[in-house]
Amino acid sequence: MRTELAAAEALALILGETAPLAPESVDVRAAQGRVLAEAVVATRRIPPADNSAMDGYAVRRADLAAASRERPVALRVAFEIAAGAAPQQSLHAGEAARIFTGAAIPPGADAVVRQEDVEREGESVRIPLEPRPRENVRDAGEDIEPGQLVLEPGTAIGPAHAGMLAALGRSVVAVHQRPRVALLSSGDELVEPDGDVAGGRIVSSNSYTLAAQCREVGADPVYLGIARDTPEALEERFRAGLRADVVVSSAGVSVGDHDHVRGVLAKLGCELRFWGVRIKPGFPLAFGRLGQSGALVFGLPGNPVSAMVTFEEFVRPALRRMAGHRSLFRPLVRARLAERLAKKPGRLHFVRVVLEHQGGEIVAKSAGNQSSGALLPMLRGHGLLVFPAEASELAAGEVASVQVLDPAFLDAPQPGF
Amino acid sequence: MRTELAAAEALALILGETAPLAPESVDVRAAQGRVLAEAVVATRRIPPADNSAMDGYAVRRADLAAASRERPVALRVAFEIAAGAAPQQSLHAGEAARIFTGAAIPPGADAVVRQEDVEREGESVRIPLEPRPRENVRDAGEDIEPGQLVLEPGTAIGPAHAGMLAALGRSVVAVHQRPRVALLSSGDELVEPDGDVAGGRIVSSNSYTLAAQCREVGADPVYLGIARDTPEALEERFRAGLRADVVVSSAGVSVGDHDHVRGVLAKLGCELRFWGVRIKPGFPLAFGRLGQSGALVFGLPGNPVSAMVTFEEFVRPALRRMAGHRSLFRPLVRARLAERLAKKPGRLHFVRVVLEHQGGEIVAKSAGNQSSGALLPMLRGHGLLVFPAEASELAAGEVASVQVLDPAFLDAPQPGF
């Protein structure tokens, strides 16, 4: 087992143990946010036939070669084609066909004239122009041809993809399975939110935070509850998590006399790959794999901010990869520091910062108390500023990278028009 | 009823008719992504008591005034305090107490020395330093004091907020209701995805796209199915949507002989506020309000891209406001055009573009066929470039605003460390 890894080493080691989960076939309506595990190849043409882009009249251009505003040409309206009806007739010389948007172009026609450009008079229509070849005609297969690769494996399914799959006649599609994440907290001081907090007990809020972090990334949390600080209680809970793809425990992994997690993991055949990452918050992070089930095991520190940050930095990318995503990391922005930051060199700090747009650039300042027990700055901040391990100072005015955790920070105040 | 509005006028008119929905009380675990409709004020202190930030020994600094590496001071380990247990004893002169992270500091102690800094020998511990006042002690209420306003109304609930609500003992919280959106398609050419597409019929893919767009924004879609192109069929479907907060129909709103939507809406007491917005795709957009139920009504054009873009530009901001969000719009980036774009002045174009990071800036090029029937460029593109109404040309190398629809485009390729 390695120890005191750099953050990048720890992440590389975790991602090296992580692969997209096997596929499952789901209804297209339930596939939103999932990642395709198959190549989607079209078996039909879209649009299915040459069709009209406008409400108007299908015509033969040859009939209109002499048409002008001064000398419109009158054509007989021979028939009408509604959308969804295959044309029963061909268009002959001197004829026009009433046509609606999306309706199939009849044989013989080679353009559509918009209804606002013509004058209808009873059974005939006066047309004051010669349309361009195939004007207002959408070609069959313009969007999709049969045999065409439409969606590649690894594509995240959004609204347009759902519509496309439906248009292709697909109601079921293969996607990567959602990671199932067993969550457990340990500590005799922990109670559920409706529990009694007298005598220094605290709510096991990590299970709420971590479950929400799982859901945000499309994983499926299974909350195993609070384990008491005994090897027997911990073992029982860990065994309940063996069916999961990932087991995440918070607390119980440091070196205190009451930290039994590592002993229990060893008993369950968990080979710890590392313990301890040179970061703050979150140093006592442990990572391994259960020999029996192959589940990944993350032992997160118990402090609320440490647990949340280590999930964000190390568990989230692993879960995104398991779900099949290619993009694993949060948006990064470059932000100018409004104030000096200092620390001892040796550990990389994730500094909770508030971001603000100021005159075309982004300015960052501390979101407050950087104690790993203080959750408030975590939720008031917009992101985590990466204060590199070997640095001891970032001067006011310097520019640093910030991981943006609050997606609303990137939203625009106006729509751009 | 107004017509031929500019995009910004149409949006302002819609948002002027839109307000956050009434609150409902939901379980904190189900509140993710919802928006607070109450102010959350703390009724307890977090942390609840002065407690240890480390595993180590609680001490009285006065005992250690003379301590040094050369001359460590030995203290008797008088008792032990586990996390979650209220201290039963006070610490007296010459004594230390074994303490674990999160455990309450006993009366009499004024600092904690980390276990890695001391030497334990049976019943005593040798301490080679004088700690700073309250070193490794977390103050009661350091994060939260009773009476403190912790979360303001209008806050979107993310993982840290869920953890904080749990820590405050809240299991139920008031959030704005989710907008309920009735979706209906109309057109005799439409079939469901498993339907027969012979004879020029096409799949009603809009219901899939629009339902996914609803879900993406946290709204609750109710799909009313495909209405045939008769006033009676349309009226029946619209009546089924009267219980929704928003009714969205696609197709049936232009000026063709078969476009009955406006007549049916008038019969149902829907006052149309406008019809026709100077945009492409999506000109024949209609917006109104049902007199009876007060539901907002959007009549979207039927082409897949027109329907998706008008939802994105006009329905999505309204739904976000109804759900209580303050940020209504997509991220906007400035992108340099890789190629010339041209159009007739008069309508604002939303151009489907592919974006790419190139040497510190973002480059945009057309995602392909800009026909409003071509869905493929919509799903291959990363966003919509805003080509202003009065402009007729954007030269290659010019910079324009792009609404980013694919959130993965903003994700970083690396974590920033």
Q: B353 is written with which tokens?
A: 């573009």
- How distant is the Cα of A416 from the closest Cα of chain B, in angstroms? 6
- Note whether A240 and A288 are same-domain residues: yes
Predicted local distance difference test score (pLDDT) of residue A196: 86
- Note whether B200 and B314 are same-domain residues: yes
pLDDT tens digits along A20-39: 999 999 999 999 999 999 99
Contact residues, B window 259-298, toward A, CB-based 8 Å cutoff:
none
Of B237 and A292, the one with more pLDDT: B237
Mean pLDDT of B384-396: 98
Q: Which one of A4, A52, A164, A312 would you mutate to disrupt binding with B, by most B Cβ within 10 Å of its Cβ?
A: A164
- Note whether A289 and A205 are same-domain residues: yes
In terms of CA atoms, which chain B residue is nearest residue A370? B143
Predicted local distance difference test score (pLDDT) of residue A198: 79
Predicted local distance difference test score (pLDDT) of residue B254: 57
- Note whether B161 and B93 are same-domain residues: no
- CATH code, domain with A360: 2.40.340.10
Respond yes or no on whether ipTM tops 0.90: yes
- How distant is the Cα of A3 from the closest Cα of chain B, in angstroms? 17
Chain B residue numbers with beta carbons less than 8 Å from the beta carbon of A125 are none
- Note whether B368 and B226 are same-domain residues: no
Predicted local distance difference test score (pLDDT) of residue B300: 93
Q: Which one of B105, B189, B316 would you mutate to disrupt binding with A, by most A Cβ within 10 Å of its Cβ?
A: B189
- Note whether A195 and A292 are same-domain residues: yes
Mean pLDDT of B157-169: 96
In terms of CA atoms, which chain B residue is nearest residue A221? B29
Predicted local distance difference test score (pLDDT) of residue A137: 94
Show the domain range for B363: 332-410
- Note whether B183 and B162 are same-domain residues: no
pLDDT tens digits along B392-405: 999 999 999 999 99
In terms of CA atoms, which chain B residue is nearest residue A115? B256
Predicted local distance difference test score (pLDDT) of residue A306: 94
Contact residues, A window 325-344, toward B, CB-based 8 Å cutoff:
325-332
- Note whether B385 and B256 are same-domain residues: no
- CATH code, domain with B158: 3.90.105.10
Using the Cβ of A142 and the Cβ atoms of chain B, whether some distance falls under 8 Å is answered with: yes
Show the beta-strand stretches assigned E in A54-93: 56-59, 73-81
Angle among Cα B175, B178, B180 to the nearest 5 degrees reads 155
- CATH code, domain with A237: 3.40.980.10
- How distant is the Cα of B39 from the closest Cα of chain A, in angstroms? 15
Q: Which residues contact A16 (CB under 8 A, 6 or more apart)?
A: none
Q: Which of A199, A208, A254 sits opposite B162 (nearest CB)?
A: A208
Mean pLDDT of B53-78: 95
The set of long-range contacts for B355-361, using a CB threshold of 8 Å and a minimum separation of 24, is: B355/B382, B355/B383, B355/B402, B355/B404, B355/B409, B361/B335, B361/B336
Q: How many residues does chain B have?
A: 417
Question: With an 8 Å Cβ cutoff, are B412 and A330 in contact?
Answer: yes
* pLDDT band with cut points at 50, 70 and 90 for residue B201: confident
CA distance B404 to B333: 7
- Note whether B202 and B296 are same-domain residues: yes
Task: Kindly tell me if the per-residue pLDDT of B257 is higher than 70.
Answer: no
- How distant is the Cα of A296 from the closest Cα of chain B, in angstroms? 21
Side-chain-side CA neighbours of A231 within 13 Å: the count stands at 9
Q: How many residues does chain A have?
A: 417
Chain A residue numbers with beta carbons less than 8 Å from the beta carbon of B374 are 142-143
Show the beta-strand stretches assigned E in A136-241: 137-138, 149-151, 172-176, 180-186, 190-191, 202-203, 220-227
A298 vs A142, A318, B24, B346, CA distance in Å?
50, 11, 36, 58
Size of interface A-B (CB pairs under 8 A): 360
Q: Is residue B327 part of a domain?
A: no
Q: Is residue B415 part of a domain?
A: no
Predicted local distance difference test score (pLDDT) of residue B379: 92
Task: Kindly tell me if the per-residue pLDDT of B139 is higher than 60.
Answer: yes
Angle among Cα B98, B103, B109 to the nearest 5 degrees reads 60
Mean pLDDT of B98-121: 93
CA distance B203 to B201: 7
- CATH code, domain with B74: 2.170.190.11
Q: Is residue B80 part of a domain?
A: yes
Question: With an 8 Å Cβ cutoff, are A255 and B198 in contact?
Answer: no
CA distance B198 to A403: 51
CA distance A243 to A182: 8
Q: Is residue B41 part of a domain?
A: yes
Chain B residue numbers with beta carbons less than 8 Å from the beta carbon of A410 are 331, 410
Predicted local distance difference test score (pLDDT) of residue B255: 54
Say which amino acid occupies A415.
P
Using the Cβ of A104 and the Cβ atoms of chain B, whether some distance falls under 8 Å is answered with: yes
Q: Is residue A143 part of a domain?
A: no
Question: With an 8 Å Cβ cutoff, are B376 and A207 in contact?
Answer: no
Q: Which of residues A322, A357, A377 is at a domain's end?
A: A322
- Note whether A172 and A29 are same-domain residues: yes
Q: A350 is written with which tokens?
A: 């994730």
Using the Cβ of B408 and the Cβ atoms of chain A, whether some distance falls under 8 Å is answered with: yes
Predicted local distance difference test score (pLDDT) of residue B101: 81
- Identify the DSSP state of A346: T
- Note whether A30 and A75 are same-domain residues: no
* pLDDT band with cut points at 50, 70 and 90 for residue B188: confident
- Identify the DSSP state of A71: S
Question: With an 8 Å Cβ cutoff, are A412 and B331 in contact?
Answer: yes
| Segments in chain A below pLDDT 70 | 84, 252-259
Q: Which of residues B176, B198, B227 is at a domain's end?
A: B176
Identify the burial level of A336 via C-beta atoms within 10 angstroms of its C-beta, where 0-12 means exposed, 13-18 middle and 19 or more buried.
middle
Q: Is residue B307 part of a domain?
A: yes
Phi-psi region of B294 (alpha: psi -120 to 50; beta: other; left: phi over 0): left
Q: Which residues contact A410 (CB under 8 A, 6 or more apart)?
A: A331, A404, B331, B410
Q: Which of B44, B55, B85 sits opposite A255 (nearest CB)?
A: B55
Question: With an 8 Å Cβ cutoff, are A414 and B313 in contact?
Answer: no
Q: Is residue A277 part of a domain?
A: yes
Question: With an 8 Å Cβ cutoff, are B379 and A158 in contact?
Answer: yes
Q: Which of B8, B29, B302 sits opposite A208 (nearest CB)?
A: B29
Reported pTM: 0.94
Chain B residue numbers with beta carbons less than 8 Å from the beta carbon of A321 are none
- Least Cα distance to B222 among B249, B203, B188 occurs for B249
pLDDT tens digits along B294-333: 999 999 988 899 999 999 999 999 999 999 999 999 999 9
Phi, psi (deg, nearest 5) at residue A113: -105, 130
Percent of chain B with pLDDT over 90: 77
Chain A residue numbers with beta carbons less than 8 Å from the beta carbon of B207 are 166
- How distant is the Cα of A292 from the closest Cα of chain B, in angstroms? 31
Question: With an 8 Å Cβ cutoff, are B84 and A329 in contact?
Answer: no
Q: Which of A49, A98, A411 sits opposite B330 (nearest CB)?
A: A411
Predicted local distance difference test score (pLDDT) of residue A255: 54
- Note whether A195 and A249 are same-domain residues: yes
Q: B313 is written with which tokens?
A: 């530009």
Using the Cβ of B210 and the Cβ atoms of chain A, whether some distance falls under 8 Å is answered with: yes
Chain A residue numbers with beta carbons less than 8 Å from the beta carbon of B331 are 410-412
Contact residues, A window 12-31, toward B, CB-based 8 Å cutoff:
28-29
Predicted local distance difference test score (pLDDT) of residue A193: 87
Q: Which residues contact B4 (CB under 8 A, 6 or more apart)?
A: B276, B277, B278
Q: Is residue B373 part of a domain?
A: yes
Chain A residue numbers with beta carbons less than 8 Å from the beta carbon of B213 are 159
- How distant is the Cα of A391 from the closest Cα of chain B, in angstroms? 12
Angle between helices B159-167 and A206-216 (to 10 degrees): 160
Q: Which of residues B276, B300, B322 is at a domain's end?
A: B322
- How many structural domains is chain B composed of? 4
